[in-house]
Chains A and B, each alone.
Chain A
Amino acid sequence: MENGVKINLISQQKLNEFTSSDRIKFILDQVRNGTVLVLEKGLTPVEEIHLIEQTMSEIDQDTFIGVEIERYTDDIKTNWLNRILRRTGRTSRMTVIGPAHLLKTIHKDNKVIQAMILTKKAVVGEV
C-alpha cells in the first residue's frame, strides 16, 4: 500500500447501524489505526464526552496521544417557542476526527473548519 493518510467519509446511515457504545468504538478503533474520519452527522454531546473519556483511557504516550475532533454546530435560536419547549441544545453536523498526531485544526467557526493533516508535506483542507 502507498504511504499516506487514509480518510474515510462515513455516512449517517452507516453510523446509525450501531448502538451508541458501538458507534464510539467504531470511530475510536479507526482513529487509533491512523485514519481520519469525516462523519456526515456527528455524535451527540453525550456520546462525544464518552468518546473523550474512552480516548483518555486508551492514550499511550508512545503510540496514541488522543484525538483531534471538530464539528459544526447548529445553533437553535432562542425564541419564545424554543424557550417553552426548553430547546437550547445544539444538533450535530459534519464532524472531522482523527489521531491528534496527524490532524491539527487551524481554524474553526460555525461555517468553516480548516484542518491540516500532518505529514512530511502538510496538506491543508476545508470541510
Chain B
Amino acid sequence: MGFLEKIKRLSLKKFLKRFFGKAHLKIGIYGPPNAGKTTLANRILNDWTGEAMGPVSEIPHETRRARLRSNVKIQADGTSLSLDVIDTPGIATKIDFHNFVENYGMDEEDGRRRAKEATEGVIEAIRWLDNVDGVLLVMDTAEDPFTQVNITILGNLEARKLPVLIVANKIDLPEASPATIKSAFPQHPIIPVSALAGYNIDGLYRAMVKHFR
C-alpha cells in the first residue's frame, strides 16, 4: 500500500471513529501498585459478565502479568459500549524485594521471585500503551497523587492523545481526598469511586460511555 493510500485510510478511520464511535475499544486499567486496579477490573467484570479478572492482595505487585477480558458490554444512559478490558501490572520506577520480606513477611526466595516478575510486569504494562484506545488511570485517594509515575503516565496519554478518565479510588477510606487529585490534575476528568464498596460505580459507567465512545 502506498504512503498516500495509507494516509487516506487512516483519515477515513479517524473520521468514522469520531462521528460514529468505534465499535470495539481496548481500555487499559493503569496506575501505580496497590491503587486498586484489579479490584476495579473485578467490579466492572462482575457487574457486566458475572466473572472476576484476578486475585487482589495488600502486597504490592499482586498483578504481574496483564490480563485481558474481551467483549465486556457496559450500558449507561441508554447507550452501550463494547470493551476489551486490560488489567495491567502496577507501574513503578523501583522494585526492591526487601519490601516484600520486611513489610509483608515473605521469605527471600519468594520476595526475589515476586520482584523479578514485577519488573517484567511493568515492562508489559508499558508496552500495552501502544495497543489501547483509552485508559482508566486509577489513583488511591488516600495517597499523595503527585507521584512521578502518575505524572509520567498522564504525560504519555496526553502525548498519544489517548482519552483518559482518572478513577479516584478508595473513597470509602476515612483519609480519602479526591479533591487533592482534582487539584493536582485539573485538566482531566476525575471520577471518585470505591471499587471495593461499589460507591459511584454507576457514575463511572456513565463517564466511560460519554468519554470513550
Residues of A within 8 A of B (CB): 44-46, 48-49, 52-53, 55-57, 59, 61, 65-71, 73, 75-76, 78, 86, 88-90, 100-101, 108-110
Taking the closest CB of chain B, its distance from the CB of A67, in whole angstroms, is: 5
Taking the closest CB of chain B, its distance from the CB of A116, in whole angstroms, is: 15
Measured in the bound complex, the distance between the Cα atoms of B204 and A98 in whole Å is 38
Residues of chain A within 8 A of B187, CB atoms compared = 75-76, 78, 88
Measured in the bound complex, the distance between the Cα atoms of B119 and A89 in whole Å is 28
Residues of chain A within 8 A of B161, CB atoms compared = 86
- Interface SS of chain B: helix, strand, loop or mixed? helix
- Contacting pair B152 A56 (CB below 8 A): no
- Contacting pair A69 B148 (CB below 8 A): yes
8 A Cβ contacts from B137-181 to A: 144, 146-148, 151-156, 158-159, 161
- Contacting pair B94 A66 (CB below 8 A): yes
- Contacting pair B152 A52 (CB below 8 A): yes
Choose among A46, A66, A90 the residue that contacts B151 (Cβ–Cβ < 8 A): A90
The count of A-to-B residue pairs whose CB atoms sit within 8 angstroms is 90
In the complex, B205 has a CB within 8 A of chain A: no
* Nearest-neighbor residue (CB-CB) of A76 within chain B: B187
Measured in the bound complex, the distance between the Cα atoms of B179 and A94 in whole Å is 26
Q: Which of B7-15, B49-57, B73-81, B122-130 contacts A (4 or more CB under 8 A)?
A: B122-130
Choose among A53, A65, A70, A90 the residue that contacts B155 (Cβ–Cβ < 8 A): A90
Taking the closest CB of chain B, its distance from the CB of A42, in whole angstroms, is: 10
- Contacting pair A66 B156 (CB below 8 A): no
Chain B CB within 10 Å, residue with most, of A45, A57, A67, A90 = A45
- Contacting pair B91 A52 (CB below 8 A): yes
- Contacting pair B119 A48 (CB below 8 A): no
Q: Would A65 and B94 be within 8 Å (CB), given that A52-B126, A78-B186 are in contact?
A: yes
In the complex, B107 has a CB within 8 A of chain A: no
The 3 closest A-B pairs by CB, nearest first: A45-B155, A66-B94, A100-B94
